[in-house]
Amino acid sequence: MGDDRATAPRKTAPTKTVFIKTYGCQMNVYDSERMADVLRPFGYGVTDAPEGADLVVLNTCHIRERATEKVYTELGHLKRMKQRKAQAGGRMMIAVAGCVAQAEGVQIRHRQPAVDLVVGPQAYHQLPELIARAHRASGEKLSADFSPQDKFDALPKERGVTGVSAFLTVQEGCDKFCTFCVVPYTRGAEWSRPAADIEAEARVLADKGVREVTLLGQNVNAYDGLEGGLAALVRRLARIDGIDRIRYTTSHQRDMDDALIAAHGELPELMPYLHLPVQAGSDRILKAMNRAHTADSYLRLVEKIRVARPDMALSGDFIVGFPNEREADFEATLNLVRAVNYASAFTFKYSRRPGTPASAMPGQLSDAVKDERLARLNALVQEQQAAFNTATEGATLPVLIEKIGRLPGQIVGRSPYLQPVHCEGPASLIGKIVPVTILTGQRGSLAGKLEVGRLEMETA
């Protein structure tokens, strides 16, 4: 597939070795091959002997008699190899995968503490995540051979340099391990910047004339650099003179706690726009994506947020054509979009990222199917976006003016819902929050009339 080749991993020589011993059935042979596939981008090359390997995986089967006991015997040998390697200053990780791992569970590590990882039956799905976590736990950096400049990995780029609105990084990394995503490997564990540093930077920005800050993080609402999390940080920043608008992106449903939802109802500085990706509307696909939420739990969360802030504009990310996505799964995504009614949305064709568990899943779809679904999803979200914008016609919105427009005498800013708004007015209004009555709402922007008489109105 065209888009997949473009993101193929660079061909570098393996720097680590993995020995995979396969017991039992064809299923396990297949699983072992996929494990080798997902480990390759992390620098693991397959070796045919366990001695000296960096990682040994026993992909087990307990159908045959005494199979479990055989695994423990093998683990005894491996333990000694591991000790030998440690004495020479190296490290060997031992993983038990497959049916015995499922049957014995944590028991394995009790009986043989040399085991580092126990992975369930569809082992390869979990292997990259478990290896990455094991590396993090030991403080080692996992060097992944992903192509640089991944378009899904980057935080948003600086939006214009208007001097009025600025991005402020507060968090990096991700611990969620969605099976399609490279971020947990490329960006590492969730990390929060100290609140004092963020506050100091926000004050500097405010002194320079910034009125709006957008707090950035791959998992921004997992922020824990302050007791009370992101909600506490937002409250602290809202007290800074000059900072009148606060936004944050990107959020994960799991970290959308009650305090943050409550802040949306209470803080006028917190803008009524929330980017809350759901990715898909089918529970089967969400599970395969390792999203740890269902379509229903997402909808209930949205409802709760809208109780706190009834005019909340929602935005989301969607992936179409995830491995094994059936027509009915895709329709569940369309239904979820209909149920939420988004103000904007980012839609993606599933792209195979080597090293991610989903890239090794069977049931990869053709580009033609992905294209067709993407077109249908786009039609729906564009319709919703247009409807959201036309619904503002006649309303007077507080607009933060950011810059002069393309036409003479025109100025451009943003509504609380992040819609670009243009109207006629003097450049002296840049940096001010002014009332604009919306005359026409189109899909991409709003056109309005400055309410000169009510110029001093600030955010409602």
Residues forming contacts to ligand SF4 in the complex (CB under 6 A) are: 174, 176-178, 181, 183-184, 218-219, 252
Q: Segment 117-176, which members bind ligand 5AD (CB under 6 A)?
A: 152
Tokens for 189? 């564990």
Beta strands in 307-356 (DSSP E): 313-320, 344-349
328 vs 237: CA distance, rounded Å:
45
For CA atoms 53, 59, 63, 69, the dihedral sign is: positive
Helix axes 327-340, 367-390, angle to 10 degrees: 10
* Least spacing, CB of residue 142 vs ligand SF4, in Å: 15
Q: Taking the CA atoms of the chain, what radius of gyration do you get in angstroms?
A: 26
Q: Of the two residues 245 and 291, which places its CB atom closer to ligand 5AD in the complex?
A: 291
Residue appearing with tokens 């390697």: 85
Q: Of the two residues 243 and 320, which places its CB atom closer to ligand 5AD in the complex?
A: 320
Q: Does 298 bind ligand 5AD (CB under 6 A)?
A: no
Give the CA distances from residue 138 to residues 5, 93, 135, 180, 225, in Å, rounded to whole numbers and listed in that order: 34, 11, 5, 25, 22
Which residues lie below 8 Å from residue 221, measured CB to CB, with a gap of 6+?
229, 230, 248, 251, 252, 255, 256, 257, 260
- Residue from 237, 319, 433, 446 in contact with ligand 5AD (CB under 6 A): 319
- Residue from 342, 350, 388, 417 in contact with ligand 5AD (CB under 6 A): 350
**Binding partner of residue 351 among ligand SF4, ligand 5AD, none, CB cut-off 5 to 8 Å per kind:** ligand 5AD
* Least spacing, CB of residue 177 vs ligand SF4, in Å: 6
* Least spacing, CB of residue 296 vs ligand SF4, in Å: 19
> Looking at 72-80, 206-214, 345-353, 395-403, which segment touches ligand 5AD (CB under 6 A)?
345-353
* Least spacing, CB of residue 222 vs ligand SF4, in Å: 9
* Least spacing, CB of residue 197 vs ligand SF4, in Å: 23
Q: Cis bond leading into 7, ω under 30°? A: no
217 vs 222: CA distance, rounded Å:
9
Q: Does 405 bind ligand 5AD (CB under 6 A)?
A: no
Which residues lie below 8 Å from residue 437, measured CB to CB, with a gap of 6+?
394, 395, 396, 448, 449, 451
> Which amino acid does the sequence have at 406?
R
* Least spacing, CB of residue 284 vs ligand SF4, in Å: 18
Q: Does 181 bind ligand 5AD (CB under 6 A)?
A: yes
Tokens for 14? 């393996």
352 vs 170: CA distance, rounded Å:
29
Q: Of the two residues 62 and 176, which places its CB atom closer to ligand SF4 in the complex?
A: 176
* Least spacing, CB of residue 253 vs ligand SF4, in Å: 9
Tokens for 53? 């390997």
**Binding partner of residue 350 among ligand SF4, ligand 5AD, none, CB cut-off 5 to 8 Å per kind:** ligand 5AD
**Binding partner of residue 348 among ligand 5AD, ligand SF4, none, CB cut-off 5 to 8 Å per kind:** ligand 5AD
Which residues lie below 8 Å from residue 337, measured CB to CB, with a gap of 6+?
281, 316, 318, 345, 377, 380, 381, 384
* Least spacing, CB of residue 268 vs ligand 5AD, in Å: 29
* Least spacing, CB of residue 299 vs ligand 5AD, in Å: 18
Burial label, 408 (beta-carbon count in 10 A; 0-12, 13-18, 19+): exposed
Q: Of the two residues 55 and 365, which places its CB atom closer to ligand 5AD in the complex?
A: 365
Instruction: Report the SS3 class of residue 328.
Output: helix
> Looking at 258-266, 304-312, 343-351, 450-458, which segment touches ligand 5AD (CB under 6 A)?
343-351
Q: Does 185 bind ligand 5AD (CB under 6 A)?
A: no
Residues that bind ligand 5AD in the complex, under the rule CB under 6 A: 152, 180-181, 277, 279, 317, 319, 348, 350-351, 353
